């Protein structure tokens, strides 16, 4: 029994539970906002800006409100990330693939749907983290089979190639979802008010 490993595990579990609680609170607040008159106004601005302006809505003020709310949520996420990793390295966020991955999460899950966005984020996270080990396993299997059956010698950089499979698998997933579910896996439900 290693007390250091046990305490680290308890800290990670506690952190995960705290993050889950914050995520649930944010989801509940987002759902309440989405179903409120303010949320309907924001959807009206998103769907047809000219019509919303004709109805007397201040488009620029509402955009500023969404910018502030979005940055508040991003700030919470950043604080949670820095608390978890205990280090902030701006150079790690320089590549555009992080921005691209956030878009992919929204597109796959379904834009305009809070649950769809969370589902898309979890799906992309699982694909991003699991595609490298799965690809490496398949590459190693192909290497063993190729050596025994055909006398084929695998390239020395299989680990690098497995890491690059992340981008291929994400691209394939986007292509399949956009082909068979263009509005996302959990599309926004349009409610008609009559």
Model pLDDT for residues 28-53, shown as the tens digit of each residue:
999 999 889 999 899 889 889 999 99
User: What is the 3-state secondary structure of 9-39?
Assistant: HHHHHHHHHHHHHHHHHHHHHHHHHHCCHHH
Measured distance between the N- and C-terminal CA atoms of the chain, rounded to whole angstroms: 65
User: How far is the C-alpha of 11 from the C-alpha of 84, rounded, in Å?
Assistant: 10
The pLDDT confidence band at residue 82, using thresholds 50, 70 and 90, is: confident
For 120-131, how does the pLDDT look when each residue is reduced to its tens digit (9 = 90+)? 999 998 998 898
Query: What is residue 95's predicted lDDT score, i.e. its pLDDT?
Result: 65
- For residues 56-76, average pLDDT: 92
**What sign does the CA torsion over 43, 125, 136, 84 have?**
positive
Q: What is the mean pLDDT of the chain?
A: 85
pLDDT at position 15 over 80: yes
Q: Which residues have a Cβ under 8 Å from the Cβ of 61 and sit 6 or more positions away? A: none
The whole-angstrom distance between residue 157's C-alpha and the CA centroid of its chain comes to: 29
Q: What is the pTM of this model?
A: 0.74
Q: Which residues have a Cβ under 8 Å from the Cβ of 44 and sit 6 or more positions away? A: 51, 52, 55, 57
**What sign does the CA torsion over 33, 37, 38, 43 have?**
positive
The pLDDT confidence band at residue 177, using thresholds 50, 70 and 90, is: very high
User: How far is the C-alpha of 135 from the C-alpha of 101, rounded, in Å?
Assistant: 19
Query: What is residue 162's predicted lDDT score, i.e. its pLDDT?
Result: 81
Query: What is residue 77's predicted lDDT score, i.e. its pLDDT?
Result: 85
Total count of residues recorded for the chain: 194
For residues 79 and 67, which has the higher predicted lDDT (pLDDT)?
A: 67
């Amino acid at each position: 029994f290693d007390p250091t490993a046990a305490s680290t595990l308890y800290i990670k579990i506690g952190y995960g539970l705290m993050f889950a609680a914050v995520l649930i609170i944010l989801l509940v607040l987002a759902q309440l906002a989405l179903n409120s008159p303010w949320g309907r106004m924001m959807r009206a601005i998103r769907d047809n800006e000219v019509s919303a302006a004709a109805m007397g809505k201040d488009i620029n003020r509402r955009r500023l409100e969404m910018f502030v709310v979005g940055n508040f949520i991003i700030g919470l996420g950043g604080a949670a990330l820095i608390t978890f990793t205990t280090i902030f390295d701006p150079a790690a966020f320089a590549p555009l693939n992080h921005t691209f991955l956030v878009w992919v999460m929204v597109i796959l899950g379904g834009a305009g749907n809070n649950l769809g966005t969370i589902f898309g984020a979890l799906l992309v996270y699982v694909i991003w983290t699991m595609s490298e080990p799965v690809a490496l396993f398949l590459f190693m299997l192909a290497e063993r089979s190729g050596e025994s059956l055909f006398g084929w010698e695998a390239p020395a950089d299989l680990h690098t190639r497995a890491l690059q499979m992340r981008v291929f698998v994400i691209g394939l997933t986007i292509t399949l979802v956009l082909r068979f579910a263009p509005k996302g896996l959990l599309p926004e439900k349009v409610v008609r008010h009559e």
